[in-house]
Amino acid sequence: MNSQLPAPPDPRPPVCYGSLQLASRFLLSPLAGYTNLPFRRIVREIGGVGLATTDLVNARGLLEGSPKTLQLIQTCPEDSPFAVQIFGNDPGLMSEAAKLLEERGVDSIDINMGCPVNRIVKGGAGASMMCRPDNTVSLVKSVVEAVKIPVTVKMRLGWDDQNLTAPFFAREFEQVGVVAVAIHGRTREQGFRGTVNHEGIRQVVEAVQSIPVIGNGDVTNIADADYMLRITGCAGVSIGRGALANPWIFRQLVQWEQTGSCDPPGNFDDRLQLLLRQFRYLLEMTTEQRAISMFRKMGHWYLKSMRVSPALRHQFQCAQNLNDFDEAVKAIAAQGPMSGSRSGVLPDMHIPVPGGPVERW
Ligand SMILES: Cc1cc2nc3c(=O)[nH]c(=O)nc-3n(C[C@H](O)[C@H](O)[C@H](O)COP(=O)(O)O)c2cc1C
């Protein structure tokens, strides 16, 4: 496992979000539908995560007390430091939502400026904020001024290749008090196609004076993270889909950074135990019926990474109640992986990109 690892990076200062010093420079990227409390808990228990953020949360829904929205910000003492990502296009609502979160003890607030989905951009939020420089900078300023806790922004490189505005925004945001920016190295128009533009992220790093820039996109192993850190000069790396495929990735990265080597990711049995623990945490939050249906998406990633046979994956996805769920898990445990050994490192899974137009993630 360790023989092909790149040399660890030179020691560098820890990442600080204002007064909040992060325990590691490797962050969990928000993934709507996945980065809920149960997943954040298991990733944190494995170790190495500097900060975990909720899925994007509608500022208006939060203020209206929508039960679905409130569930997104559910947390627990181990889920720390805890950042909530909000979206919206109204400076007043966004500031009020930020205040509400501060009162609830959230550690930092992230503003979503990267979401490409039509439903969000049509309402003037997400990536479309990159098309309205003046309004956007003043919205961000009003959120920063509304709270004492650190405010960060997550954005793409720009709307399209002709409008790579992230360096401009990062510079402006730093001036109004934003403490860090995370950059997904693609444009809105690109969706998830093509490759991440590391040079584009580098230009954001060069545009700011001192705030940390977090590089994001397509990091699924140590070599990718090393490349992101070296080529862009970013202070930290945030990882989304790579963490679904390998929840051990943050611990591996910290071990590599500190020692040049790292433990392997979990084997088949470790992953099965993790799946069960994550599901148990979900059951603590919601009804049996809803937990089973919510867990299908996450189960897909677990079972693919565990090399479970298509027939048993199908059985798992068809579970309607806890009894079906337990039966499927028993059969999966009995059969083991289709390739690789159950106690060794499993072959890497293919990491899918959300398909079709940016509308469908
Ligand atoms: C299913 C899915 C849901 C996502 N949800 C969010 C979200 O709620 N907020 C956000 O800022 N980005 C969201 N993203 C973008 C990711 O945070 C990240 O920027 C992108 O996936 C690239 O990083 P990765 O290659 O490490 O996954 C989402 C991406 C996916 C695939």
Q: What is the pLDDT of residues 181-210, one digit of tens each?
A: 999 999 999 999 999 999 999 999 999 999
**Does residue 83 sit in the same domain as residue 146?**
yes
Listed in sequence order, the DSSP H helices in 210-248 are 222-232, 241-245
Q: Which atom of ligand 1 is nearest to the CA of 110?
A: 11
> 12 exposed, middle or buried (CB, 10 Å; 0-12, 13-18, 19+)?
exposed
- For 202-327, strand residue ranges (E) read 213-216, 236-239
pLDDT per residue over 103-149, tens digit each? 999 999 999 999 998 889 999 999 999 999 999 999 999 999 999 99
For residue 2, pLDDT beyond 90: no
For ligand 1, say whether the CB of 354 is within 6 Å of any of its atoms.
yes
In this predicted model, what pLDDT tens digit does every residue of 299-329 receive, in sequence order? 999 999 999 999 999 999 999 999 999 999 9
What's the farthest any 2 CA atoms get from each other in the chain?
A: 59
- Minimal-distance CA residue to ligand 1 atom 6: 31
End-to-end CA distance of the chain: give it in Å, rounded. Answer: 32
- Token pair for residue 20? 């909040």
Q: Are residues 277 and 170 in the same domain?
A: no
What is the tens place of the pLDDT at every residue in 234-251? Answer: 999 999 999 999 999 999
76 is catalytic: no
Check if 156 has its Cβ closer than 6 Å to any atom of ligand 1. no
Q: Look-up: residue for tokens 């939502």?
A: 97
**Can you give the pLDDT at residue 361?**
43
Are 275 and 250 in the same domain? no
Atom of ligand 1 nearest to the CA of 354: 31
Q: Does 228 share its domain with 80?
A: yes
Say yes or no to pLDDT of 3 above 60.
no
CA of 302 to the centre of ligand 1 (A): 18
Taking only the tens place, the pLDDT of each residue in 89-98 is 999 999 999 9
Contacts for 26 with CB less than 8 Å, ≥ 6 apart = 48, 49, 50, 225, 236, 237, 238, 239, 249, 250, 253, 254
Alpha carbon of 56 to ligand 1 centroid (Å): 10
Residue at a domain's end among 259, 280, 295: 259
Q: Which residues on adjacent β-strands are paired with residue 113?
A: 155
Q: Identify whether 186 is part of a domain.
A: yes
Clarify whether residues 81 and 207 are in a common domain.
yes
User: Is the domain of 81 the same as that of 221?
Assistant: yes
pLDDT at 360: 46
d(CA 344, CA 265): 9
17's torsion region: left (phi>0), alpha (psi -120 to 50) or beta?
beta
| Residue 161 shares a structural domain with residue 237 | yes
User: Among the atoms of ligand 1, which is closest to the Cα of residue 112?
Assistant: 11
CA atoms within 13 A on the CB side of 4: 6
Residue at 7 is within a domain: no
Q: What is the CATH number of the domain that holds 167?
A: 3.20.20.70
| 91 occurs within a structural domain | yes
Distance from C-alpha of 271 to C-alpha of 277, rounded to nearest angstrom: 10
**Across residues 12-36, what is the average pLDDT?**
96
Catalytic residue among 16, 76, 115, 318: 115
Both 238 and 309 in one domain: the answer is: no
pLDDT of res. 356: 54
Statement to judge: residues 162 and 300 lie in one domain? no
Closest residue by Cα to atom 30, ligand 1, is 31
Q: Does residue 1 lie in a domain region?
A: no
- Which of 121, 129, 184 has most ligand 1 atoms within 8 Å of its beta carbon, as the pocket-test mutant? 184
CA 266 remoteness from chain centre: 20
Query: Is 353 a residue whose pLDDT tops 80?
Result: no
> At CB < 8 A and 24+ separation, what contacts does 196-203 make?
197/157, 198/227, 198/228, 198/231, 198/232, 199/231, 200/157, 200/164, 200/166, 201/157, 201/228, 201/232, 201/234, 202/231, 202/232, 202/233, 203/164, 203/166, 203/167
Indicate if ligand 1 lies below 6 Å from the C-beta of 126.
no
Q: Please check whether residue 60 lies inside any domain of the structure.
A: yes
**Among 259, 289, 315, residue at a domain's last position:** 259
- Please check whether residue 224 is in contact with residue 197, taking contact to mean a CB–CB distance below 8 angstroms: no
Which residue among 53, 111, 241 has the greatest number of ligand 1 atoms within 8 angstroms of its CB, and so is best to mutate? Answer: 241
Hey, which residues does 84 pair with through a beta bridge?
109
Q: What is the mean pLDDT of the chain?
A: 95
Q: Are 235 and 214 within 8 A, CB to CB?
A: yes
CA angle 240, 2, 227 (to 5 degrees): 45
251 in the same domain as 276: no
Residue 360 lies in a domain: no
Rounded percentage of the chain residues whose pLDDT exceeds 90: 90
Per residue in 39-57, pLDDT (tens digit) is 999 999 999 999 999 999 9
Is any ligand 1 atom within 6 A of the Cβ of residue 55?
A: yes
Tokens 């995560």 correspond to what residue?
Answer: 49
| pLDDT recorded at residue 113 | 96
CA of 157 to the centre of ligand 1 (A): 14
User: What is the span of the domain harbouring residue 295?
Assistant: 268-335
Going from the Cα of 240 to the center of ligand 1, the distance in angstroms, rounded, reads 6
Q: Are residues 151 and 235 in the same domain?
A: yes
Query: For residues 146 and 155, what is the distance between their CA atoms, to the nearest angstrom?
Result: 21
| Residue 343 is assigned to a structural domain of this protein | no
Dihedral (CA of 250, 85, 87, 183) sign: negative
Q: How many CB atoms lie within 10 A of CB 334?
A: 8
Distance CA 280, CA 82 (A): 21
Q: What percent of the chain has pLDDT over 70?
A: 97
Contact 191 CB / ligand 1 (< 6 Å): no
| Structure confidence at residue 78 as a pLDDT band (50, 70, 90) | very high
State how many domains the chain has: 2
Distance 34 CA to ligand 1 centre (A): 10
Select from 308, 236, 274 the least CA-distant residue to 53: 236
224 lines ligand 1 (CB under 6 A): no
The pair phi, psi for residue 175, each rounded to 5°, is: -65, -30
pTM for this prediction: 0.96
Which residues, in sequence order, are CB contacts of 355 under 8 Å at separation 6+? none
Of 226, 259, 292, the last residue of a domain is: 259
Instruction: Assess whether 197 and 160 both reside in one domain.
Output: yes
Residue 345 has pLDDT above 50, yes or no: yes
HEC per residue, 260-329: CCCCCCCCHHHHHHHHHHHHHHHHHHCCHHHHHHHHHHHHHHHHHHCCCCHHHHHHHHCCCCHHHHHHHH
349 in any annotated domain: no
CB 185 within 8 A of CB 215: yes
